[in-house]
Amino acid sequence: MFDCRQGDRTGSKSVGGLGYRGGMEVRVAMRQAPDGSWSARMEGPVEARATGPDAEGCLAALRAALADGLDADGEAVTLVVETVPQLAGVAEAAAVLGWDKRRVITYINRGSFPPPVQALASGRVWLRRDVEAFAEEWQARYQARQRARRRAAPKDP
């Protein structure tokens, strides 16, 4: 899916009919949705939005809008991509871990949870990938403890 709205292009050579000049940098903000899909927004003389199942597909849709990023003189347009990370608060961390929020707070208070990237008035926030990594590590430790308990349990004759 691609949505492109033309803006004011006065005084610029057009790149692919979209008003970008060759050799210029175009800023793009990309972010991942909770379902794993990606969306991107390009601002400047033209506003463009693209979505894709992955980051590469989303970026490909933006490049297609720039007609392969070349102007009539063959100068490339550089896409400067800022990837906005997905964040998680206590409620999102609890959902990732399959816990309730009180248990997450207990781990935070014990110092057993990753440090937040920011503490806001509304609460602490983490990079979602840090919470997911913690969840994988915690699950591996939990399973190892369960195996050790089963081995140590007395066997019935």
pLDDT of residue 68: 45
pLDDT of residue 73: 57
pLDDT of residue 13: 32
Report all structural domains of the chain as residue ranges with CATH numbers, in order of start: 2-84 (no CATH), 87-152 (1.10.1660.10)
H helix intervals, the chain? 55-65, 90-97, 101-110, 128-152
- Residue 19's identity, in one-letter code, is G
pTM of the model: 0.64
What does the pLDDT look like over 12-41, one tens digit per residue? 333 444 455 556 777 889 998 878 889 998
Task: Please give the order of strands across the beta sheet that includes 2-5.
Answer: 2-5, 47-52, 38-42, 25-32, 78-84
- Residue 75's identity, in one-letter code, is E
The SS3 assignment for 84 reads: strand
Contact 18, 65 (CB under 8 A): yes
- Residues lower than pLDDT 50 in the chain: 1-18, 68-71
Residues 6+ apart with CB under 8 A from 40: 28, 29, 30, 31, 49, 50, 51, 58, 59, 61, 62, 81
Per-residue buried b or exposed e for 70-90, using 16+ beta carbons within 10 Å of the residue's own CB: ebeeeeebebebeeeebebbb
- Residue 97's identity, in one-letter code, is L
pLDDT of residue 4: 36
